[in-house]
């Protein structure tokens, strides 16, 4: 499994902070905050693998993994799959424990709620002493320090019962894993945070949750009012089905074999009203859309009824709609789920990250986001009259309003740019193998190494005890235990350790380690005619022997230097989009308010009112008789328009503010500035000038920096600067031209 860049960074931070805390006295607590859908379990699995094999951790470690409901079972399955090709850690439940203790590098999984029950066999004292207290005591008596992982800690870690249980476990280190940590207490020693924007930029989760698209929504502080609140359940369901069908067509057009899923969430109450709602929904689905349990298109996930659930998480599963209750929200993972429906029987609801998280995951995270932005959003349809969205969710997840491109828009076919994302900065690509073989030749590695009768004589100090530290001065402490270098498992561990130690500055993930080993094996195959599959032990002994290991380290260091230089060259590579168009639709969060316009190409137009110069320029072009339409550009991704410019010998992207279509067919590319922001635009105007020079005559475009001669009241003239950046001076309009509007 290949970790994303933000995952690698989080794991390294977890490892660094945990090692520091474990080296201190007393009990310590670390909070790991990571958004839903970011891969918390995978990051924790990699972290546990690294810390359990870290030479800087002095004491042996045993682990306890707790989670609410049955999430611990899902976590156990995921970790077992992650470790299936290695022997890093053992995943166990109580019944699996050997000698009724948690061994070194073993993880005990259990359900947090059930362990709190008074009559629970794992808590109750019994003749066999197979209870939690005894297991913990035997584990500590064996010399192991305990690390406690509390998954979804916001559900239970702060209760009084839980605190008592944590005290009974008395771990050396507690790691609380959550997307929404509770108020931080003074006993929190470290916090590792995964930024939501990093998760989105890697394409792991969708850009946002769009609430009632194509319906007017109004957010007043935390309470949301929607025009769909007046609609019937059938109207809400129809809008959701229509969106699902649009998504299915879009996936098909991209060549992705994905069948998007609608989730219909019923209230948890068990009354006749909820049962009637379920019956009404089933009838509507059958009569209007031919979606039934019998034809496999409808799934049901209720405590008393479960239908068509087998393999439902597969991207191409035939089920199109799933009826469920809140209990599904925790830990349930079905990335093709993209539309959520809530009917007014809820009365009111406060959206939680857990519920929203069910529709936020991307179905193909390795591919990231799709070119068609409709596939990069999640959708909620509801006729609830009262919806509450807390500030964090509003800012980070929810889209409140949607605007659409006007019907009379015609293609403009502009050339735009976006940066190629390279992951080679933190992990090794196949290029490393090619470079290693070349550097081995340049270094004459074949001639310098000795291959005959190479043996490993590796040993370590198993135990040393003294009552007086002063006795160690001038004392020679000799190793008294030998490593079995004839054992293939031990040899492989030694080889992995050698590679890991020589990977810096690259992250020591399995794929990068494998890339280095593959390069070394290839060297022996080509240069030494030694087949790895037949002479595995021989190769490792040659590499790790005292006479040879320095030579291999030298070649690795030389290769890494050249590899890094090659990667840095690629950082300035861009893709040229030759037919960029104004987006078909744009979504906006709660901080954007509706601004009445007649000439915006996007209707209705939503604005954040951040910049007075932009606002006044909009007012001016709205009144213009020669403007057909205008577009307020965004920033930061390929859906927005950008040109290239050079700043301090580095290529960057310039997202100009406005694209304006004039009645004579011209397109104006304008960036509004005032005061000191004019001075900072010198490099950008050179980039825009070069763009206009290259494409101006072909595309009938012109453009420049736009400002008003009165930057306070905006009662002056609107001017445009199209010259060279070196001649651009703030508040001096002598070399500017009047912008005819």
pLDDT band of residue 333 (cuts 50, 70, 90) is: confident
Judge whether 20 and 192 are in contact, CB under 8 Å.
no
Long-range own/partner contacts, residues 77-80 (CB < 8 A, 24 or more apart): 78/41, 78/42, 78/45, 79/41, 79/45, 79/48, 79/107
pLDDT for 403-427, tens place per residue? 889 999 999 999 998 876 655 555 6
Name the phi and psi angles at 393, rounded to 5.
Answer: -65, -40
Judge whether 79 and 89 are in contact, CB under 8 Å.
yes
Residues near 515 by Cβ (< 8 Å), separated by ≥ 6? Answer: 428, 429, 430, 432, 433
Query: What average pLDDT score do residues 237-260 get?
Result: 95
pLDDT for the residue numbered 462: 41
- Is 466 a residue whose pLDDT tops 70? no
Judge whether 398 and 389 are in contact, CB under 8 Å.
yes
User: Domains (ranges, CATH) in the chain?
Assistant: 5-198 (3.40.50.300), 203-399 (3.40.50), 431-461+479-570 (no CATH), 576-738 (3.40.1350)
> Within 10 A of 287 (CB to CB), how many other CB atoms are there?
11
Residues counted in the chain: 741
Positive or negative: CA dihedral 330, 332, 338, 339 = negative
Among 20-29, 456-465, 564-573, the least confident range: 456-465
Reduced to 3 states (helix: H, G, I; strand: E, B; else coil), residue 585 is: strand
Q: How far is CA 204 from CA 40, 279, 317, 364, 668, in A?
A: 12, 36, 21, 8, 36
Q: What is the pTM of this model?
A: 0.68
> Within 10 A of 420 (CB to CB), how many other CB atoms are there?
10
DSSP state of 10: H
Angle (deg, nearest 10), helices 536-544 and 510-527: 100
Query: What average pLDDT score do residues 14-21 get?
Result: 94
pLDDT for 38-89, tens place per residue? 989 999 999 999 998 888 888 899 999 988 777 778 888 888 888 887 777 8
| First-last CA distance in the chain | 56
Token digits of residue 545 = 């022997």
Report the percent of the chain where pLDDT is more than 90. 40
> Within 10 A of 596 (CB to CB), how many other CB atoms are there?
8
List, in sequence order, every beta strand (DSSP E) within 501-603. 574-580, 585-588, 593-595, 602-603
β-bridge mates for residue 108, sequence order: 64, 92
Query: What average pLDDT score do residues 80-109 get?
Result: 85
pLDDT for 257-303, tens place per residue? 999 999 998 876 656 666 788 888 999 999 999 999 999 999 998 87
| β 718-721/737-738 pair status | antiparallel
Residues 118 and 99: their CA atoms lie apart, in Å, by 24
Residues 200 and 116: their CA atoms lie apart, in Å, by 37
Q: How far is CA 6 from CA 33, 195, 218, in A?
A: 13, 8, 35
Give me the numbers of helices (H) and strands (E) for the chain, helices first please: 20, 36
């Amino acid at each position: 499994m290949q970790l994303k860049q933000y995952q690698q960074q989080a794991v390294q931070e977890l490892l660094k902070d945990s090692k520091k805390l474990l080296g201190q006295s007393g009990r310590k607590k670390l909070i790991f905050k990571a958004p839903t859908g970011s891969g918390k379990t995978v990051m924790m699995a990699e972290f546990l693998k690294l810390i359990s094999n870290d030479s800087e951790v002095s004491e042996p470690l045993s682990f306890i993994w707790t989670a609410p409901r049955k999430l611990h079972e899902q976590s156990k399955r995921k970790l077992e799959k992650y470790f299936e090709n290695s022997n890093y850690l053992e995943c166990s439940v109580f019944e699996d424990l050997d000698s009724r203790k948690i061994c070194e590098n073993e993880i005990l999984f259990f359900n947090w709620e059930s362990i709190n029950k008074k009559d629970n066999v794992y808590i109750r004292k019994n003749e066999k002493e197979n209870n939690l207290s005894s297991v913990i005591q035997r584990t500590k008596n064996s010399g192991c320090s305990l690390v406690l992982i509390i998954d979804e800690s916001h559900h239970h870690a702060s209760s009084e019962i839980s605190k008592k249980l944590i005290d009974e476990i008395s771990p050396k280190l507690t790691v609380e894993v959550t997307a929404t940590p509770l108020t931080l207490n003074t006993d929190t020693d470290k916090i590792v945070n995964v930024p939501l924007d990093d998760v989105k930029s890697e394409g792991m989760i969708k850009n946002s949750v769009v609430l009632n698209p194509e319906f007017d929504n109004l957010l007043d502080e935390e309470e949301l009012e929607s025009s769909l609140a007046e609609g019937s359940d059938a109207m809400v369901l129809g809008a959701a089905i229509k969106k699902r069908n649009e998504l299915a067509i879009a996936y098909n057009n991209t060549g992705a074999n994905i069948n998007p899923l609608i989730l219909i969430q019923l209230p948890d109450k068990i009354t006749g009203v909820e049962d009637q709602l379920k019956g009404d929904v089933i009838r509507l689905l059958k009569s209007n859309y031919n979606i039934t349990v019998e034809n496999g298109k409808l799934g049901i996930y209720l405590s008393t009824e479960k239908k068509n659930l087998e393999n439902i998480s597969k991207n191409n599963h035939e089920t199109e709609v799933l009826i469920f209750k809140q209990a599904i929200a925790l830990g349930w993972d079905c990335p093709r789920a993209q539309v959520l429906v809530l009917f007014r029987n809820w009365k009111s609801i406060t959206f939680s990250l857990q519920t929203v998280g069910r529709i936020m995951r991307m179905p193909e995270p390795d591919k990231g986001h799709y070119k068609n932005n409709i596939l990069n959003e999640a959708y909620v349809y509801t006729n609830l009259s009262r919806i509450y969205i807390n500030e964090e969710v509003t800012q980070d997840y929810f889209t409140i309003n949607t605007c659409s491109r006007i019907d009379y828009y015609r293609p403009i076919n502009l050339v735009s740019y976006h940066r190629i994302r390279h992951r080679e900065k933190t992990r090794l690509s196949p290029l490393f193998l090619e470079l290693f073989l070349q550097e081995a030749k340049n270094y004459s590695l074949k001639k310098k190494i000795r291959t005959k009768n190479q043996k490993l004589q590796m040993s370590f100090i198993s135990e040393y005890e003294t009552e007086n530290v002063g006795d160690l001065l001038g004392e020679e402490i000799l190793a008294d235990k030998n490593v079995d270098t004839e054992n293939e498992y031990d040899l492989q561990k030694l080889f992995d350790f050698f590679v890991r130690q020589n990977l810096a500055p690259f992250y020591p993930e399995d794929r990068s380690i494998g890339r280095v080993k593959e390069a070394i094996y290839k060297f022996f195959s080509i240069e030494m005619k030694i087949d790895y599959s037949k002479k595995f032990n021989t190769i490792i002994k040659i590499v790790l022997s005292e006479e040879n290991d320095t030579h291999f380290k030298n070649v690795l260091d030389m290769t890494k230097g050249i590899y890094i230089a090659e990667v840095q060259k690629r950082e300035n590579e861009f893709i040229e989009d030759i037919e960029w168009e104004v987006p078909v639709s744009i979504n906006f969060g709660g901080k954007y308010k509706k601004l009445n316009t007649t000439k915006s190409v996007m209707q209705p137009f939503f604005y954040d009112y951040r910049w007075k110069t932009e606002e006044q320029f909009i007012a001016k072009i709205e009144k213009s008789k020669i403007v057909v339409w205008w577009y307020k550009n965004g920033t930061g991704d390929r859906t927005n328009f950008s040109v290239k410019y050079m700043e301090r010998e580095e290529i960057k992207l310039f997202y100009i503010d406005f694209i304006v279509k004039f009645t004579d067919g011209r397109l104006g590319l304008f960036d509004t500035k005032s005061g000191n922001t004019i001075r900072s635009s010198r490099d950008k105007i050179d980039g825009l000038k070069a763009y206009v020079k290259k494409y101006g005559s072909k595309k009938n475009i012109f453009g420049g920096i736009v400002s008003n001669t009165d930057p306070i009241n905006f009662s002056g003239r609107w001017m445009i600067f199209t010259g060279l950046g070196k001649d651009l001076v703030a508040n001096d309009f002598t070399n500017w031209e009047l912008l005819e509007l």
